[in-house]
């Protein structure tokens, strides 16, 4: 039996403003390595809140969170920031690339921050990630000169630079047209099927969700199907 790359036990969370409200209710979830999972549900169901908890950005909850065999509840913010840089890659609805930097520089940033490799090794790795996404020919361009779809592919390369255990996407196709949404989905599918990358994506895109390995549906703070 393989150990899940992510496991939660009894995750419960409250909001207190303007009054006490339970937003997550006893969430138990296991995600296997190499799985492509979509997290769906109507606005306000708790899926984005759960994603923040899973990503270790939100630590104000009850229950247990374990990623890559490591228990992460009650860790310090500094510890969690370092853990995220090693183990989690993020792809958001908006790419958050630095427009004054080149494609290559943007992709290198998380690895430079991690500081485990020399700059020339990081540059080589960044080029390899860009090749994987068909963006290596644009490496020396400023990111502001790219189309929206190209910018999102660069953002995916940046998320992959430290070889994370989990790639987390928050509406990764939410800002793209149907063609570029398809391109991003196909990239994610290749990452899971060929490279065994674990992906968890919050999405409103029903077509996107239907084609993932597993749909976890939330309603009223609970998982209602998985």
- State mean pLDDT over 113-138: 91
Pairing of strands 70-71, 21-31: unpaired
The CATH code for residues 33-60+76-225 is 3.40.50.300
- State mean pLDDT over 143-172: 91
Q: What is the DSSP string of 134-165?
A: T-GGGTTSBGGGS-HHHHHHHHHHHHHTT--S
Q: Looking at the predicted structure, is the pLDDT value of residue 1 above 70?
A: no
Instruction: Round to whole Å and give the CA distance between 68 and 47.
Output: 21
* Triad 150, 155, 159: Cα angle to 5°: 145
Instruction: Round to whole Å and give the CA distance between 51 and 37.
Output: 12
* Structure confidence by residue, pLDDT tens digits, 22-50: 999 999 999 999 999 999 998 888 898 99
114: left (phi over 0), alpha (psi -120 to 50) or beta: alpha
CA distances to 39, 48, 198, 206 from 226, in Å: 9, 17, 16, 15
pTM above 0.85, yes or no: yes
- State mean pLDDT over 181-192: 90
What average pLDDT does the chain have?
Answer: 91
CA distances to 99, 170, 193 from 111, in Å: 19, 21, 24
- State mean pLDDT over 179-200: 90
Residue 143 contacts residue 99 (beta carbons within 8 Å): yes
Q: How many residues does the chain have?
A: 226
CA distances to 56, 65, 76, 109, 137 from 79, in Å: 10, 14, 5, 19, 37
Confidence of residue 226 (pLDDT cuts 50, 70, 90): confident
- State mean pLDDT over 89-110: 89
Q: To the nearest whole percent, how much of the chain has pLDDT over 70? A: 99
Task: Say what the pLDDT of residue 94 is.
Answer: 78
Confidence of residue 96 (pLDDT cuts 50, 70, 90): confident
Task: Say what the pLDDT of residue 55 is.
Answer: 93
What residue has token string 């937003």? 23
């Amino acid at each position: 039996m393989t150990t899940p790359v992510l496991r939660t036990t009894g995750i419960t969370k409250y909001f207190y403003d303007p009054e006490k409200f339970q937003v997550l209710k006893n969430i138990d979830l296991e995600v296997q390595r190499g799985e492509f999972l979509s997290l769906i549900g109507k606005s306000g169901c708790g899926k984005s809140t759960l994603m923040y908890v899973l990503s270790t950005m939100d630590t104000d909850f009850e229950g247990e969170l374990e990623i890559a065999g490591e228990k992460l509840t009650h860790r310090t913010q500094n510890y969690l920031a370092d853990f995220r840089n090693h183990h989690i890659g993020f792809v958001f609805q908006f790419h958050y690339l630095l427009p004054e930097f080149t494609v290559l520089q943007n992709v290198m940033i998380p690895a430079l921050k991690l500081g485990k490799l020399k700059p020339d090794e990081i540059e080589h790795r960044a080029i390899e990630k860009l090749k994987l996404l068909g963006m290596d020919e644009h490496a020396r361009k400023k990111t502001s000169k790219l189309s929206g779809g190209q910018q999102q592919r660069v953002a995916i390369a940046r998320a992959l630079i430290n070889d994370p255990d989990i790639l987390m996407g928050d509406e990764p196709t939410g800002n793209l047209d149907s063609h570029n949404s398809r391109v991003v989905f196909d990239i994610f599918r290749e990452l899971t099927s060929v490279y065994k990358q674990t992906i968890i994506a919050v999405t409103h895109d029903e077509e996107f969700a239907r084609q993932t390995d597993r749909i976890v549906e939330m309603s009223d703070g609970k998982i209602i199907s998985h």
